[in-house]
Amino acid sequence: MSKNKYFPAALLIIAVLLIAGLFVYSSGQNKDKEKKETETAVADQAEVESMWEEAAHTPLGKYPETVEYTLGKIAGSNNSNLPVGDTYEDNAYTRYLREVLNIQNMDIFELETDGSYEEALQVAIADREIPDVLVVNGWDNLERLVENGLVEDLTQVYEECTTDTIKEMYESYGDDLLDSATFDGKLYAFPNTAIDDGEMLLWLRTDWIEKLGLEEPQSMEEAMEIIREFVERDVSGSGQTVGLACSTEVIAGSSDTYGVDGIFTRFGSAPEKWILDDSGQVVYGSLTSGTKEALGYLNGLYEEGILDSRFLLRKPENIDELIEEGLCGAVFGRWWAPNNPLSISYSTDHTIEWKPYLFEEDIDDRPQTFESYDDRMYVVVRKGYEHPEIVGKYVSAIFDYARYEDDLYANEVNEYFSINVDPTARPMNINVDYIDALYRCGENLQKALNGEISVTELSGLEKSYYNTCRSYLNGNLTTANGWAAYASRIQAVEVLKAADARKIPAVSMGNADGEIPQNLQDLERETFLQIIAGEKPLDYFDTFVVKWYENGGKELTESIERNIR
């Protein structure tokens, strides 16, 4: 009995001891678990911090979390020809940047450069409230931002967060380009690069040449005679055939359309540029004897009906309509003219054929020109923004990695080129490339099409163009974009190479302000149009030169001369 009496008590004691043991064991396990979790969290935190550090100091290090930046965005016309559904904040470029760098733009404004963007830029500078990243058009605006302490010093960003290839690209322009964004030895912006677009080409309707049984031209004079035939024989059959189209701007420069720059180049003239004349003096190119000769020649074309007799009444959109309706036989344009505006005619009628021409003798007397950075674009970063390095990383990802190395994610980006999406679709509206990028690309494409090199040797951008051009040549791609890619990247570049049309490098104007005052611009434009249309005799040009100097041109020229020397 006594033995059984104490048995429940023993069991109770044992139970208590077991529970206590279990508690101690469980407590130990929890502490071990907590320790491991703490160690893991510390390790994870260290890894995250390491990723942030790497991203901040390398071209392609990816942020562990999405970095958003506000942006002042230059938009393009027609939504930059983006595919349906794509926007400026969600397109091939932004998707690629999220994947590779984990950055995302949040656009404060999206405006075209027709005055509205410039107004928004001026307001932002005046209010001292700019977005995290801003595309600045014009060196004077960049200078204002720097002088007002509104933008970050990007010297270290350039050194650490751009690839060697990007540095090589900038170096291909010499020192002047980066120097234009440098103040007191510090780099405050990433400048746009202006690749050599070659000379202005004459684009002719070769299907009309064939229809009339004519031979292709071997000189400018022969080309003008062909255009005369277009008009006199009304090759379009509409009674409204137009020969050589021309805008009232007359000079298109490097970015506009429908100028007749090629005629001026033929006479050794460079209107709207500061040049060195034969005696080594700095002069304004619109005032030379070559310019006078070119105007006289254009007047002859106008009187003979070769130059559109109604050009004074047409706006650029009216000329677009002429091309789209198949009524125009000739325009001057850069290598990219097939993309804009000539593709609109191909979209209407696939039998239309445009072909580029350039005659060596017409580019022999090109003068030495000076280059101003007044209209150059720059990308800056707001003073105090936490991640100024994203500009260098952006440039490295878009203009190096996507083009030359990345076959995994960059296909969609590179396809944008072949479907004619405008570069303004990019978040930051600059282009960074070698000065001779056009020729490099054309040569590589031609070699690949001829089987001289493997397609695997092409960059991502070149592969995209190769696929489009190959499909076009095989007859598998009949779209306007297919034709435009081939005509611009192959045909036009071949013509430029054959004529040895690489430009004479321009000399920097330094800090000289080469902008022509509005009153002198108006005087020049009015005089050119009056002489071309025969409203003033050719000798009125001499009066124009005198007026130009008397109305401020003399002082301006002397100022340019002092600053350049």
- Asked if 192 contacts 431 with a C-beta cutoff of 8 angstroms, the reply is yes
pLDDT tens-digit series, residues 202-237: 999 999 999 999 999 999 999 999 999 999 999 999
Tell me how far apart the alpha carbons of residues 221 and 233 are, in angstroms, rounded to a whole number: 18
pLDDT of residue 492 exceeding 50, the answer is: yes
Q: Which residues of 160-179 are buried (b: 16+ CB within 10 A; e: fewer)?
A: ebbbebbeebbeebeebbbe
Residue 42, helix vs strand vs coil: helix
pTM: 0.80
Q: How far is CA 173 from CA 315, 380, 383, in A?
A: 36, 20, 28
pLDDT tens-digit series, residues 123-140: 999 999 999 999 998 888
- Asked if 367 contacts 286 with a C-beta cutoff of 8 angstroms, the reply is no
Tell me how far apart the alpha carbons of residues 451 and 288 are, in angstroms, rounded to a whole number: 48
Tell me how far apart the alpha carbons of residues 324 and 328 are, in angstroms, rounded to a whole number: 9
Contacts of 467 (CB under 8 A, 6+ apart): 418
Tell me how far apart the alpha carbons of residues 25 and 41 are, in angstroms, rounded to a whole number: 24
pLDDT tens-digit series, residues 310-339: 999 999 999 999 999 999 999 999 999 999
pLDDT tens-digit series, residues 77-117: 889 999 999 999 999 999 999 999 999 999 999 999 877 89
Number of C-beta neighbours around residue 298 at 10 A: 22
